[in-house]
Amino acid sequence: MARIDLGRASLVRTLVVALTLAASLNARADAYRVLHVRTLAISVDRTRVRVGEPLHLTVRAVVGDRVEALPELILPDLTAFQVLADSERLVHLDDTTSFIARLTITPNVPGRLRIGSAALDAVDARSGRAMRYRSGTIAIEALPVTPDEAARVLARAREIGVTAVAVVLACTAGLLVVLRRVAAGSAAASSAPALPVLSEAASPLPAPDTLAAWADRLRHAPTRANAVAARAELWARLGAQVTETADDVLRKTSAMAWRRAIRAAERAAFVEPAGEAAAARELAEALEALSR
């Protein structure tokens, strides 16, 4: 019977495992792109809903590279939910790319459900190692639908056929009112003296007091939440929708002060947590420059 040196056998097994793991990591490193992953996070608009009610899930990934797609991103496991709608967009700002996915989901069953973490596979630019970055997870409390609520839903479904015609008529009446007001405004404008046309390089708006107020708030509370709200106000002042990207809004003005504020707002809204306060203060400075 052959004698086995247990210590030597254990050492051999350890070496085999280490070599296998190293080969696996090398293979992953060859398959993945080198990315500067800055942020990977998920959020929802509410955590307590009834079965069948929609909620909105946002997945945000920010990389310090200019890329045209992010196929490495793995969306959360939504086994306990039904996806009703989804949309995706990329936002480029200098050499940074923000990927934003918004999903409308609804729980399939009652109980305490969990939205799994999003993941992103890439080679870490600093260490050169293949990494799997993960976001946090979110707990959702899905409440059951009571018999009374189910009956109300069925009754509402029956009413839809009756009320559809009324809705169309109401919309038509509202449209006629709007058209009459527009016509009246056009007639009044035709009798008023013509206003001078501003050059494209001029600031499209007077310095608004509301932006100065947001600058003051960002000075006292330099948070991402305040930066996002200030960004929405800035977008509104430039006649842009909240869903428009920074590139879209930059096309609306050639004034350097406004363009600086747009870039600062976009950076403050999507910066990694470590740079949140500094980006918010930079946005405050840009807004103060508009208010002078």
Alpha-carbon gap, residue 21 to 15, rounded angstroms: 10
- For the chain, the domains span 34-143, 209-291
pLDDT tens sequence across 224-234:
878 888 888 88
CA distances from 146 to 50, 113, 135, 160, 175 (A): 10, 19, 34, 21, 39
Q: Which CATH class is domain 34-143?
A: mainly beta
Please give the distance of CA 183 from its chain centroid, rounded to a whole number. 39
Structure confidence at residue 162 (pLDDT)? 47
3-state secondary structure of 42: strand
H or E, element range at 53: none
Tens-place pLDDT, residues 29-83? 457 889 999 999 999 999 999 998 999 999 999 999 999 888 889 999 898 899 9
- The single-letter DSSP state of residue 273 is G
Residue stretches of the chain with pLDDT short of 70:
1-30, 146-209, 242
DSSP-assigned states of every residue in 141-163: EEEPPPHHHHHHHHHHHHHHHHH
Q: Which two tokens stand for residue 88?
A: 């995706």
CA-CA-CA-CA dihedral for 75, 81, 87, 91, to nearest 10: -40
Quote the pLDDT of residue 10.
52
Helix residue ranges, H only, 117-245: 147-191, 209-220, 224-237
What value, to the nearest 5°, has the Cα angle with vertex 224 and ends 218 and 230? Answer: 55
Whether 133 contacts 37, CB under 8 Å: yes
Alpha helix (H) ranges present in 71-125?
Answer: none
Question: Which residues does residue 49 pair with via DSSP β-bridges, in sequence order?
Answer: 142
CA pair distance 239, 236, nearest whole angstrom: 5
